[in-house]
Structure 1
């Protein structure tokens, strides 16, 4: 069984920190209203579900073909989490002004997942470090994919609903927020070896 506190902290930090999905959800809700931002958020949910499911199937196949890959994937996952902690600690607040002409459609949210490096690496890291080493059946991997996709949907909705509040808070307290997020990520990386 995976280290549940490390899994939860990694998922929450990675899902709720600024990234393309959250910034665009915030921008959509600010421009068009929360209700009209729901199709984009639903597209993100669907895209994440597809990415997580594919990562799960790919990881199980690798684990079955090359059993020794588990330790390699754990080290790679931990290295990525530590890199993400460093980037989080040193990041500056993003502005929603950078988002160009979002049509606020379901397809846009879905397709974004296939070119979103943060989302793809998040899926690979989560599945290979926290799921597949402990669970290899398709229904359980699908359950994790649904849970993690739903978490992304909730995150997008939170950023949409409270985007302006989060944006002001992050800008005002950027060092404190980044430090807390980075420390939670370091904890997640170290716990992979405990």
Structure 2
């Protein structure tokens, strides 16, 4: 169990990197200024606040659920409350992204559009988790789905990939396409 002080320190570290985007001293005024001034940083600001409230209230915060619901409607992104994501979350082209609450994700997680990170829950199994290391990039239209999957550090997952097994650190993974040539036949 993480204390409220540790949760607050994590929140500040994430807001510093994702919203303020500098290495200077943390300031709530700077965070709010950047969240208002830079629309591309608002999702991260509000999701980090909602996830913080969710964690410190043991999942009982109505405000956190409401904020997350509004984010889903406005951005078309569902990062479930309860997911553990370290600083450096980058959601590029925020549409169709789904990240399960059973995810534990390291620093500098870079995700493109239409990506799913989800778990398969089988009857009788312990709660499954997907653990993703540091410096991982997931290409557009990819799915990471399974039970107890671990993806190592410094991994690049290519576009339109389906990942259902663990991946070691320091590699590039993609799902090969059988026939990617478009054939056009003219009618006579």
TM-score by length of 1: 0.24
Q: Which has the higher strand share?
A: 2
